[in-house]
Amino acid sequence: MINKILRVFIYQMILITGSFAQFEYQLHTISEFSNNRIDNIPFWVKMNRWGTPTAYKKNTFNSVNISLLRDLSQTTQFIVGIEGAGLGQRNHFVNSELYIQVSHKWLTLLGGRRKNTLGENDLPLSLGSMVVGSNALPIPRVSLSIPEYLLFKIGKIPLKIKGGFSHGWMDKGMYLEAPNLHEKWLYLSYEKDNYSGHLGLVHEAIWGGSTHTFGPQPTSFEDYLRVFFLLSGSGSSTSKEQTNALGNHLGMWDLGFKIKKDNYNYHLYLQHPFEDQSGARWLLNYPDGLWGMSIHSKNKKAGVTDFLLELLYTMHQSGSEEVSDSTYGWDDYYNNYLYRGGWVYKGNVIGNPMLTLGQNEIRDWTHIVNNRIIAFHSGIEGNILTYFQYMVLLTYSKNYGNYHDRDRSMKRGIEYDYEGGLNQLSYRVDLKTNKFLSKNNMTVTLSFIGDRGDLYEDNKMIMIGIDWYYSTITNKQRK
């Protein structure tokens, strides 16, 4: 229903702002071919692809992205974006982008579904953001933001700021009525000479809607304010919501430090997740987070242009004892007692893809069955000869499930699949050229991807991707 409304609205906006001939545009197409069965797709093929389906032996993946841009004035731009992706079958087609955007100087108003991540980690080599990454289909929303750092001063101290807030709509999924999404984020950055640091806070909340177990949830403007300020629920909410904050709250603290040298840039960062007030305000889960380091070469033709190392650690979760009046524990990242679908949109985890979806005898609905993880990840990019580039992703993880399912399994005498930890190795190697058939706007990629371990079925896959890109938009126009 939301997609239909957006299509009509976008068309009307184009008519209002003028004909297609007055727009600059860019066109991007992708086609992928592979040799694998649909039930045997490796981790680094199906993850971090914006919720779109993957190519397999009998079906080619295709996507088309069209962006239209018009300068309404020297400081104001109007942008429309549409992307369709699928496997040539009706039930395997998605609108992965469908939005309108108006940017005036440093302020942007967006309506619809647009690809966007929150976090300062280095993509595409990173595992992904701890809160809003590239793993799930973008959530339709209306947002007002400062998307790029804006310089201002507090006294004589120069600071940069960016941030924004959104109202979005989750999918119906397992609910009687789809809940709402509240989102806000704020980043501060300070730079002096060749050194800079940033501190960011991202807050997400699922609220409203109606569930099978708890029925309709409050959705008045007063309730929205309660969600916005993390206040307890009114008398119309559940007893737990009246004791704690209304809605399912999660987010992250994002810290980083950068050093610029003559030949290389260095970046150290930490994304620390929180699932409730104990993590957000008191940092009781202080060891947990995505810890990263990246090195970027300023020589674009170097053998190694980018190198990244990350440690994902989510074992603590505020303690191993179940939450009570006197203890905080079992943060159970991305899960929630009220919104049982969890931090998931259209069947994919919205945040970091290392946290695994599934179901078991303890909780017989689809939920995050694995959120206690130790993972070591590395990524590297560079050049081979003149016209060839490469990218390598290598991820080793030990997976321990979650506290809740483990505890209930022990009490019921049920064998727990994650007892002692499951080892997993996933890898991807891309070889690509952007000079295919002497065309500067076409890139061909040959990928070797595989899994080996206890968490996923052992498999290997070969995939060929063809990217074609054309644009009339200059770098100065593009935002």
Give yes or no: residues 53 and 170 share one domain: no
- pLDDT value for 3: 55
Residues of the chain with pLDDT under 50: 476
Torsion, Cα of 109, 115, 116, 120 (10° steps) = -150
Q: Is residue 122 part of a domain?
A: yes
Does residue 336 fall inside a structural domain?
yes
Q: How far apart are CA 330 and CA 335, in angstroms?
A: 10
Same domain, residue pair 124 and 57: no
Q: Check: CB of residue 430 under 8 Å from CB of residue 384.
A: no
> Do 355 and 216 have their domain in common?
yes
Q: What is the pLDDT of residue 303?
A: 96
First CA to last CA distance, the chain: 29
Beta bridge partners of 164: 145, 185
Residue 388 maps to a domain: yes
Cis peptide before 53 (omega within 30 of 0): no
pTM of the model: 0.93
Same-domain check for residues 160 and 109? no
Regarding whether 283 and 425 lie in a shared domain, the answer is yes
| Residue 338 forms part of a structural domain | yes
Query: Structurally, how many domains does the chain consist of?
Result: 2
Position 81: which residue type? G
Phi/psi class of residue 303: alpha, beta or left (left: φ > 0; alpha: ψ in -120 to 50)? alpha
Alpha-carbon span 348 to 357, nearest angstrom:
8
Residue 61 makes CB contacts below 8 A (sequence gap 6+) with 30, 31, 32, 52, 53, 54, 55, 85, 86, 87
Please give the pLDDT value at position 440: 75
Residues 175, 48 share a domain: no
> Per the domain annotation, does 448 fall within a domain?
no
Residue pLDDT, tens place only, 311-329? 999 999 998 888 876 667 8
* 249 and 301 assigned to the same domain: yes
Does 144 lie in the same domain as 92? no
Amino acid letter, 16? I
Tokens read off for 367 = 């939920």
Residue 458 placed within a domain: no
Range of the domain at 305: 116-433
Report the half-sphere exposure of 19 (CA within 13 A, side-chain side).
Answer: 1
Residue 424 and residue 339 in one domain: yes
Tell whether 241 is covered by a domain.
Answer: yes
Residue 477 to residue 74: CA distance in whole angstroms: 10
Q: Are residues 399 and 295 in the same domain?
A: yes
Residues 326 and 345 in one domain: yes
Q: How far apart are CA 170 and CA 177, in angstroms?
A: 10
Closest CA to 282 of 324, 310, 231, 319: 319
> Same structural domain for residues 211 and 98?
no
Question: Which pLDDT score, from 0 to 100, does residue 281 have?
Answer: 64
Q: Is 249 domain-assigned?
A: yes
Task: Name the region of 456 (left: φ>0; alpha: ψ -120 to 50; beta: rest).
Answer: beta
**pLDDT value for 282:** 67
Three-state SS letters, the chain: CHHHHHHHHHHHHHHHHCCHHHCEEEEEEEEEEECCCCCCCCHHHHCCCCCCCCCECCECEEEEEEEEEEECCCCEEEEEEEEEEECCCHHHEEEEEEEEEEEECCEEEEEEECCCCECCCCCCCCCCCCCECCCCCCCCEEEEEEEEEEEEEECCEEEEEEEEEEEEECCCCCCCECCEEEEEEEEEEEEECCEEEEEEEEEEEEECCEECCCEECCCCHHHHHHHHCCCECCCCCCHHHHHCECCEEEEEEEEEEEEECCCEEEEEEEEEEECCHHHHCCCCCCCCEEEEEEEEECCCCCCCCEEEEEEEECCCCCCCCCCCCCCCCCCCCCCCCCCCCCCEECCEECCCCCCEEECCCCCCCCEEEECCEEEEEEEEEEEECCCEEEEEEEEEEEECCCHHHHHHHHHHCCCCCCCCCEEEEEEEEEEEECCHHHCCCEEEEEEEEEEEECCCCCEEEEEEEEEEEEECCCCCCCC
Each residue of 325-379: pLDDT tens digit?
666 789 999 999 999 999 999 999 999 999 999 999 999 999 999 999 999 999 9
CB neighbours (10 Å) of residue 148? Answer: 10
